[in-house]
Amino acid sequence: MAVKRKKIGSAGRLGAGYGKIKQKLIAVERKQRVKQECPFCKGHVKRKVKSIWNCVKCKREFASGAYHLKNQKTKK
Ligand SMILES: [Zn+2]
């Protein structure tokens, strides 16, 4: 019988013993993979360090969420 793979996505690299924290990790990492958009010029934004973001296009540096930009979808 084939073993069913759980739908834990990127958290699959973690072994046993992480339990519920995996669900939280998936939520964070899914957002991380979405393209981050600059709130000033809609350009591409890269994360410099935790919560410091740097826009490639307008070269602005600003603070936002640690792993993804805040208010990405609510701004529309
Ligand atoms: Zn920009």
Place 74 in a pLDDT band, splitting at 50, 70 and 90. Answer: very low
- Domains located in the chain, CATH noted: 36-76 (2.20.25.30)
The β-bridge relationship of strands 61-63 and 52-55 is antiparallel
Question: pLDDT by residue (tens digit) across 17-48?
Answer: 777 888 888 888 887 777 888 888 888 898 88
Give yes or no for a contact between 26 and 8, defined as CB atoms under 8 angstroms apart: yes
Q: How far is the CA of 28 from the centre of ligand 1 (A)?
A: 23
Q: How far is the CA of 24 from the centre of ligand 1 (A)?
A: 29
Nearest CA to 30 out of 64, 72, 2 is that of 72
Q: How far is the CA of 54 from the centre of ligand 1 (A)?
A: 8
Q: Does residue 58 surpass a pLDDT of 90?
A: yes
Q: How far is the CA of 51 from the centre of ligand 1 (A)?
A: 16
Q: What is the pTM of this model?
A: 0.62
Q: Measuring CA to CA, how many Å separate 60 from each of 4, 47, 52, 75?
A: 46, 12, 10, 19
Which contiguous run of DSSP H or E holds residue 69?
A: none
Q: How far is the CA of 50 from the centre of ligand 1 (A)?
A: 18
